Structure 1
């Protein structure tokens, strides 16, 4: 626990500083580049403070142009890990509650991140429509299709929204697998343990053609699930 409290004593002011700087930066540059640079710096700094190293493989699989990343979700450390290592400028769909945090939430909104209210179907649909526009404008997007963190590292059932989005946007889905983050910082706990995190980028999956929308959604979901689980360590 001492390790966790020491980390938090540095992480919280560091996060506030990065969020405030990013918020001010977006007032001068609304393109998203300044925010992305701050987000990457925050991710790398957070990992440094935790004494955690990350190994990224599969970058050679990335196509040109925007993609939708879909990742398993083990820990709160997934977010700084992916911000630190993903090579593309990437927006996120994040739960609405994060946008209510002072300064931090405002910075996310200014950075183009999209709030998702899972309790309101109408607002959730609007969020997906906004996400389609973001991807079609040329920015990549990251989604946790499980919708929440897995407590035992196994994949939870995937929500349908991300796959509907992928079919509407018509861009490749790049599955990615995170291993180790749930051991560094277990879900539902503030405990912090030494360890290494690996991120594996898989080959892009194009939305299936020649099928009904419902069939294509099922096929895409199965292919993404198979890719992520293929190297998942349980």
Structure 2
């Protein structure tokens, strides 16, 4: 890594936590004093994602938004190559969505309150009755009109290759009856591989696929649905990129 690239990577590494805290504070300020709704608040994390991408020298392009119907909730389901996926999606996926996050994050001072103000969905990853209640509540929020993003692999891929999908996201999709949207994130593994901390400049492509209707699936078919979604995401990854700008 050249000296200039190294300097920029170190600067980005130092600024990410600062920008995250600053965005959280601004979110709470507008939420408390100006009564901003969760929908209005989304402009703040979107700016957060974009400024981190631009500081990193990363260009993000999005394809396939024409597959979506305005005003309809979706469960966007993407491969997970890198921690940078979050910045790219938050900054450049121009749809109104929320993250599903483990409940422990909502207890983090300032950051957790900002997540609540933004309407993010709390998920209990423990086993048992409380976990099922958490999934039911998440499914209801989604069915009522809140789009979300999930990473069905459950963790970042160590080599950038697509891993098997877990069934948890399928359970929420079937419970809510909301379509799953296959989505491919291409390029983030080279920018920030799992286990690395210094970002490299590069290009990212987010490809949105055709929604998969879930209202005809029952819970016994959750693994079948996971396989169908996996095949759709794999197909998007393998498709040659379109030419031109978004």
Same fold (TM over 0.5): yes
Pick from 130, 134, 152 the counterpart of residue 127 of structure 1. 134
Q: Does 1:36 align with 2:66?
A: no
Question: Which ranges in structure 1 are unaligned for 5 or more consecutive residues?
Answer: none
Q: Does 1:98 align with 2:108?
A: no
The whole-number CA distance in structure 2 between the counterparts of 1:5 and 1:96 is 30
Which residue in the other structure is 1:18 paired with? 23
Is the 8 Å Cα contact of residues 11 and 49 (structure 1) preserved in structure 2?
no
The whole-number CA distance in structure 2 between the counterparts of 1:197 and 1:225 is 20
Change (3 A) 1:200 1:166: same
Which residue in the other structure is 1:3 paired with? 8
Q: Does 1:231 align with 2:210?
A: no
The whole-number CA distance in structure 2 between the counterparts of 1:189 and 1:97 is 24
CA deviation vs aligned residue, 1:72-115 (integer Å, no higher than 9, x gap): 11111111111112222111112344334332222112212123
The whole-number CA distance in structure 1 between the counterparts of 2:152 and 2:28 is 28
Note the C-alpha offset of 1:212: 4.3
TM-score (normalizing by structure 2): 0.86
Pick from 82, 86, 92 the counterpart of residue 79 of structure 1. 86
What secondary structure is seen at the aligned counterpart in 2 of 1:198? strand
Is the 8 Å Cα contact of residues 209 and 236 (structure 2) preserved in structure 1?
no
Q: Does 1:189 align with 2:201?
A: no
Query: Structure 1 stretch 25-34 or stretch 197-206: which is displaced more?
Result: 25-34
The whole-number CA distance in structure 2 between the counterparts of 1:121 and 1:73 is 27
CA deviation vs aligned residue, 1:108-161 (integer Å, no higher than 9, x gap): 122121233434443332321221121122121111111111111122222211
Pick from 134, 144, 154 the counterpart of residue 161 of structure 2. 154
Which residue in the other structure is 1:116 paired with? 123
Is the 8 Å Cα contact of residues 25 and 34 (structure 1) preserved in structure 2?
no
Note the C-alpha offset of 1:20: 0.8
Count residues with an aligned counterpart: 231
The whole-number CA distance in structure 2 between the counterparts of 1:128 and 1:7 is 35
Is the 8 Å Cα contact of residues 208 and 220 (structure 1) preserved in structure 2?
no
The whole-number CA distance in structure 2 between the counterparts of 1:170 and 1:75 is 29
The whole-number CA distance in structure 1 between the counterparts of 2:231 and 2:135 is 24
Question: Which ranges in structure 2 are unaligned for 5 or more consecutive residues?
Answer: 1-5, 239-246
What secondary structure is seen at the aligned counterpart in 1 of 2:98? strand
- Greater than 4 Å deviation, 4+ residue runs: none
Q: Does 1:49 align with 2:63?
A: no
Note the C-alpha offset of 1:166: 0.5
